Amino acid sequence: MTSTQHDHIVLLVDTPFFENLPSWVTDNFTVTPGGYHDGQPSRNKLVIFTDGSYLEFFNWYDTPPSLDNEKLPMRFWGPKSPGLIDFAITDTTHSAEQSVSTVNDRLNEAPEKDAGLGVKFGAPIGGSRKKADGVEIKWKVTRPEFSKGEKTPGQELFADGRIDVPFFCHDITPRTDRVPYKDEKKTTHPCGATGIAACEILVPKHLQREYVSVYSKILGSDLEAEAGQNSHTLDIGLPEGLARSTVVVRAAETDKDIKRMQERGIGLSDLVIAVKSDGPGGETRRPLGSAGIESTIWLEKAKL
């Protein structure tokens, strides 16, 4: 059982979306103001869940920073188009430095190492933002550092930059300052959402095994053989409570998936949000919409 946990999901949005949230957001979720990030022209709004994780609506309100500014780890989101673009994991029992060291040790471990994909993690970088009440929140972000490995896919499968594995986010100030998941007013949602059920990662079919191996090492999740299947489900924890979540590494096989991967790159493709079993609607699992960003976010009723 892995000690890593889901931290948050990053959904990049443009300024009109950010300043006038669409009904598929406001009809389903309680949105909490976030704040402005220090040192770069970005801001966020949050959807906070009782499991201690959250969904982040991230917006550039001015020109994003240069990609060579190594002090700003969010710079990699600058070239990306709106939608689900990235996700963070954390480990509430270890420091950022300990977590990164452990993961890099696994990625350097023979014989598979990083499966030839060219993945390791850099040094943690401090970040902060100020809330509307003036309280400053601090954390450390650790992003992957990519290189050209023996099996690294071509640039055509990294649309607008490579973000095919998650990053780490560790709290410096109390987690409840950044994620007020104990505030019922902020975690009670019209759709009955309680937290993250799964993140789905879309990868090339011929590299499914390699990506499963790398994700297993990053998450610290046991790797079991699932021969002949087009997806592999890996275990991950949640910051609050005993519930578990998953990361699903899925091979792009249909024309729709292949086109989507070519347009948006290898990486996070779908988010499944857990909802109470007695929540609205009769479906076990349904998307928030039939097209656009909302078609990639699903509500799934908890099993009784």
- Is residue 9 within 8 A of residue 196, CB to CB? The reply is yes
pLDDT of residue 226: 61
Scan for tokens 């931290």, then name that residue. Answer: 7
When pLDDT is cut at 50, 70 and 90, the band that residue 118 belongs to is: very high
Tally of domains within the chain: 1
What is the structure's pLDDT at 279?
Answer: 64
CB 170 within 8 A of CB 99: yes
Per-residue model confidence (pLDDT) at position 132: 78
> What pLDDT shows up at residue 227?
57
For residue 273, which of 2, 3, 11 has the smallest C-alpha distance? 11
Assign residue 11 the CATH number of its domain: 3.10.180.10
Contact call for residues 106 and 165 (beta carbons, < 8 A): no
Which residues face 272 on adjacent strands?
Answer: 198, 298
Position of tokens 């550092």? 145
Pair 47, 29: CB distance under 8 Å: yes
- The DSSP string of the chain is --S-EEEEEEEE--HHHHHS--HHHHTT---EEEEEETTSSEEEEEEE-TTS-EEEEEEESSPPPPTT-TT-GGGGGTTPPSEEEEEEEE-TTS-HHHHHHHHHHHHT-TTTTTTTS-EEE---EEEEEE-TTS-EEEEEEE-EEE---TTPPPGGGSTTS---S-EEEEESS-HHHH--TT-HHHH--TT-EEEEEEEEEEEEGGGHHHHHHHHHHHHT------TT-SEEEEEEB-SSSS--EEEEEEEE-SHHHHHHHHHH-SEEEEEEEEE-TTSSSS-SEEES-SSSGGGGEEEEEPP-
Between CA 203 and CA 257 the distance in angstroms is 9
pLDDT per residue over 247-284, tens digit each? 999 999 999 999 999 999 999 999 999 998 776 666 68
Domain range for 231:
1-304
Token pair 């969904």 in the structure block, residue: 55
Tell me the per-residue pLDDT of 189-235, one tens digit each, with 9 for 90 and over: 999 999 999 999 999 999 999 999 999 999 999 876 565 688 999 99
pLDDT at 225: 55
pLDDT tens-digit map of 162-195: 999 999 999 999 999 999 999 999 999 999 999 9
pTM: 0.94
Q: pLDDT for 39-67, tens place per residue?
A: 899 999 999 999 999 999 999 999 999 99
- Give the pLDDT of residue 278: 74
What was the pLDDT predicted at 192? Answer: 95
* Cα–Cα dist 119/113, whole Å: 9
Give the pLDDT score at 1.
47
Spatial contact of 52 and 238, defined as CB atoms under 8 Å apart: yes
